[in-house]
Copies of this chain bind each other. A is one copy, B any other.
């Protein structure tokens, strides 16, 4: 006998949790579609050279890579951005820019599972490519806010920064050639704190530069977006990055949504390919879980595959982290089975019970026809276990409609009457 078990870092989703996930994805997708974004899909498996690009580092260590039946070096995608870059380069002739696309799908990484991380998880990406305007940056930020609102995440804070701004400040401060390393240290602020970062920067550069860099990174604390922008413009001098942030802020004010956004110069987004605005999203009630939606602007999506320079801006929701957060906040409704169960009193009735069920289903009332003629008490208990709110018992004088929770029966109903009662109760509840 083979022991049934899943690989570590991988998991099954039981019906209650899978139903909740699908409902969450439905809401996220509806939000994306309301902005006119369209979906694509790409293969789970690609040529390793395409996914690894310039390769190296953590990606190469974590990617699921192997040789296929035909001797090809292949790997499972570890994000949705690299496949998107390959897709845009390959299908360029079939796309019109600006191209607004979303992609909700699984990705795989051989993460260290002791940190509570999964090796198979779902990302919800949305990007605008082929446009470098501020209106595109703003649309992505607005979608982040609207989408998290739509799923009931509560009060959120979207922390924005600009890669160009930090780089210009470092140049002005006389930090040359070590920008990547400086960024790497600043990225650790939330993990090792100011003192740890100051020490590392002092060793890398000197005490004075370390102090000034930390002052720059922390100048958003206790200040409004506008005040912070003024301080940063002073420290780095005005430039295209401060102008971009100003435009975005003006759009926020014009759209009446300014309050969820802060300017936070300590947001660096690691050492990714971002070249403009970058952002992370925190749930005010659960700041410790990290960002539930992150992204930024990049100046060339397809550089590895095409000579054409294609700028873009996008963001990605980590569905698993978001779902866990919503569960902790109690913002996930209890998943239910069908609206009604049809009780079985005789194994020979199956055809008639399905015909009865059809008159409910055609009215939009889902029906679970119970298959086995067990004692009615047992069947009511089964309905309760499956989180079905109503039971329908056919009889000579019409149907009996039973409220599983209250145990109240209404007798002598027609199918129409029973369906109407079930729908009215559902509307009352919602």
Report the bound CA distance from A350 to B66 in whole Å.
47
| Contact flag A15-B38 (CB < 8 Å), given A45-B10, A131-B372 | yes
Please give me the residue from chain B that is nearest to A33 by CB atom. Answer: B366
Cα distance A44–B250 in the bound complex, in angstroms = 45
Contact B36 A138 (CB under 8 A): no
Do A368 and B12 have beta carbons less than 8 Å apart? Answer: no
> Within 8 Å CB of A36, what residues of B?
337-338, 341, 366-369, 386, 388
- Contact mask for chain A residues 2-19; partner B; CB cutoff 8 A; 1 contact, 0 none: 111111001111110011
Which residues does chain B contribute within 8 Å of A142, judged by CB atoms? 354
- The contact of A50 among B4, B66, B91, B96, by CB within 8 Å, is B4
| Contact present for A49 and B11 (CB under 8 Å) | no
Q: Are B91 and A250 in contact (CB under 8 A)?
A: no
A24 contacts chain B at the CB level, 8 A cutoff = no
Q: Whole-angstrom distance from the CB of A212 to the nearest CB of chain B?
A: 34
Q: Is A236 located at the chain interface by the 8 A CB criterion?
A: no
Which residues of A, 262-320, contact B by the 8 Å Cβ criterion?
302, 304-307
- Closest residue of chain B to A111, judged by CB? B69
Among A165-173, A198-206, A253-261, the stretch that binds chain B is A253-261
Q: Which of B40, B120, B250, B335 contacts A43 (CB 8 A)?
A: B120
CB of A100 within 8 A of CB of B368, answer: yes
List the B side residues contacting A366 at CB < 8 Å: 33-36
Chain B residues near A101 (CB-CB < 8 A): 15
Q: Does A72 reach chain B (CB closer than 8 Å)?
A: yes
By the criterion CB–CB under 8 Å, are A347 and B134 in contact? yes
**Contact A347 B6, beta carbon cutoff 8 Å:** no
The answer to whether the Cβ of A380 comes within 8 Å of any Cβ in the partner chain is: no
Are A351 and B138 neighbours in the complex by a CB distance under 8 Å?
A: yes
Chain B residues with CB below 8 A from A108, complex form: 44-45
CA distance in complex: A176, B73 (Å) = 48
Is A209 part of the binding interface, using a Cβ–Cβ cutoff of 8 Å?
no
Assuming A14-B91, A22-B39, A50-B2, is B7 touching A45 (CB within 8 A)? yes
Q: Which of B2, B15, B39, B44 is the one whose CB lies under 8 Å from A305?
A: B2
Interface hits, A364-385 → B, CB 8 Å = 366-369, 371-372, 382, 385
In whole angstroms, how far apart are the Cα atoms of A203 and B86 in the complex?
54
Residues of chain B within 8 A of A407, CB atoms compared: none
Between A128, A335, A386, the greatest number of chain B beta carbons within 10 A of the residue's beta carbon is seen for A386
Residue with the highest number of chain B CB atoms closer than 10 Å, among A94, A108, A255, A337: A255
Closest to A303 in B: B1
Q: Given known contacts A6-B46, A11-B43, A12-B87, what 18 new A-B pairs fall within 8 Å (CB)?
A: A1-B307, A2-B304, A4-B90, A6-B42, A7-B43, A18-B38, A33-B366, A34-B366, A35-B366, A36-B386, A43-B120, A69-B110, A96-B382, A133-B371, A135-B344, A251-B351, A251-B354, A253-B351
Q: Lowest 4 CB-CB distances: which A-B pairs, in order? A: A254-B351, A36-B368, A36-B338, A66-B66
A–B complex contacts, Cβ < 8 Å, 9 sampled: A15-B38, A18-B41, A36-B366, A45-B64, A64-B68, A96-B385, A139-B369, A250-B348, A251-B350
